[in-house]
Structure 1
C-alpha cells in the first residue's frame, strides 16, 4: 500500500517530465524540418511549464537566428548561458549573433580581478558553486575525522594537512558563492528589442536624446521610474528609455 501511495505521489512529476521531453523532441524535429516558427511555439510551451534548460533556450536562439530576429536570438543565447555558463555552442553562436547588431560598443577597461572573475569564476553559476561548497564541507569533515581517529603519525599528519587545505578551499568557495550570488541578484541585464531607441537624459518624453542604441544590444538596468528604466552601456553611458523597448534577462 505504501509503494502504491509513493508511486501516486511521484506520478504528476513523472508525467510532467515526460511531457516536457516529448515536447522537446517534437520541437527538435520541427527545427530539422525547417519549421522554425512552429518549433518556437513548442519550445515556449516547455518554458511555460517551468521545465526549461540551457538547451531549450539554446535551441530557441537557433530558431530565431534562422528567422533573422537578432534581439530574440541574442536574448535566448544569453538565457542559455545564464543557466549553463559552460555551454560552448551557445557561447560560440552568441559571438556570431552579436555581429548582426549595429552597435559597436567598446567596454570599459577591467581590473585583473574583474577579468579573473569573468573568465574563470563566472564559468559556474552561484548554484553550482554552492554544490562545490557542500562537497568540500563533507570532504573537510571526513578528513578531520580521519585525522582525529588515526593513530599512525604519518597518516595523522597527512589527514591534518589535507583537512586544513579542504577547510581553506571550503571558505574560499563559500566567499565566491556569496559574491556570485550578489552579482547575479544586483546586476539586471536586458536586451534591446526595438529596432532603434533614442535614449533620454531623463525619464520623460521631453528629455534630451543622449545616445542611440539598436536591436540586440545588451544593457544593464540600474533603476526604474513608472514605465521608464535607467540603463547603462558597457562603455559607461547612462540614460533613460521606455521599459517596453527592452526585455530583461
Structure 2
C-alpha cells in the first residue's frame, strides 16, 4: 500500500511539473511575441533551471539572445538545441546567422571521406535513435524468420528469408552506427567562448606565452583540463590553454 502511495505521489508530481512547465513555456512565448525578449528569456531560463531539457526550449532561448544581440549565448543555445536534435533545421539556419556576428573566422581543416561519412551519416541521428532502429530491425527480423518458418509456398519462404537477411544486415549496420556515435559523443566536448576577448596560452599558467586570441561566440573543442584551465582545439588544428571562466561547455 505504501509503495502504491509513493508511486501515485510521484505520478501526480510529474503531472504537476509538466503542467507548470507548459504554463511557463506559454508565458515565455507571449513575452517573445510582444518583443519583450529580456522577460521571455528569464522565463525560459527558469524552465531550464528546473532541469527540463528540450530542443525547442533551447531554440527559443537562442532566439531571445539573438534578438538581444548577445553573440555567445545565442550560439551556445542553438548548439544545445542541435545537440539534442541534430536535424533541427530552424536551429541550423539561425545558428548560421548568429555565427556571422562572431569576430573569429576559423577555417576548417580538409576532411577525409571517412570523416565526412561519419558527420553526414553516423552523426546524422543520435546514438539513441540508431539504437531504436537496431531494436526495431531485430524485432522485424524475428517476425520475418517466424513467417518464413511457418509459411508453406516456396516463393513465399524465399521472400521471407531474403527480407529477414536484409533486416539482419540493417541490424548489424545500425548497431555499428550506434556504437560509433556513442563513442564520438562521449569524447565530444564542444564549448563556446563567452569572454569578449581571451588570450590562448601555450601552457596552463598566466605567465604562459600567448599563441593566439579568441573572441566571444567561437566554438572550440575541449581536450583536457588542469586546475582553472582548459586545453582547447580549433577546427583549423590550433591548440592552446584558456581560463575555464572564459568559455562554457555545451
User: Normalization by structure 1: what TM-score?
Assistant: 0.96
Alignment match, 1:14: 15
Answer with 170-179 or 7-16: which moved more: 7-16
SS in 2 for 1:241: strand
| CA shift digits 1:132-190 (9 cap, x unpaired) | 11111111111111112222111111111101110111011001001111111111010
- Which structure 1 residue ranges, 4+ long, deviate > 3 Å from structure 2? 3-9
Pairs within 5 Å for 1:1-249:
8-249=9-250
Structure 1's unaligned 5+ residue stretches are: none
Q: Is the 8 A contact 2:122 2:180 kept in 1?
A: no
Whole-angstrom CA distance in 2 between matches of 1:208 and 1:97: 31
Pairwise CA distance, 1:120: 2.8
SS of 1:68 mapped into structure 2: coil
CA contact (8 A) 2:27 2:43 kept: yes
- Residue 5 of structure 1 deviates from its aligned partner by 8.6
SS in 1 for 2:145: helix
1:34-60 deviations in Å (ceiling 9; x for gaps):
111111111112112222210000000
Distance in 2 (CA, whole Å) between partners of 1:147 and 1:9 is 46
Give secondary structure in 2 for the equivalent of 1:234: coil
SS state at 2:148 partner: helix
Structure 1 distance, partners of 2:214, 2:6, is 57
The alignment partner of 1:110 has SS state of coil
Q: CA RMSD in A?
A: 1.6
Are 2:137 and 2:170, in contact at CA under 8 Å, matched by a contact in 1? Answer: yes
Q: 1:69 to 1:9 in 2, by over 3 A?
A: closer
Aligned residues: 248
- Deviation, 1:6, is 6.9
Q: Secondary structure at the match of 1:102?
A: coil
Distance in 2, matches of 1:239 and 1:32, equals 42
Per the alignment, in what secondary structure is the counterpart of residue 43 of structure 1?
A: helix
Q: Is the CA contact (8 Å cut-off) linking 2:55 and 2:80 kept in structure 1?
A: yes
Q: Is the contact made by 2:196 and 2:215 (CA closer than 8 Å) also made in structure 1?
A: yes
C-alpha separation in 2, matches of 1:128 and 1:115: 20
Please say which of residues 29-38 and 64-73 is displaced more in the overlay. Answer: 29-38
- Return the TM-score normalized by structure 2: 0.95
CA distance in 2, matches of 1:9, 1:200: 50
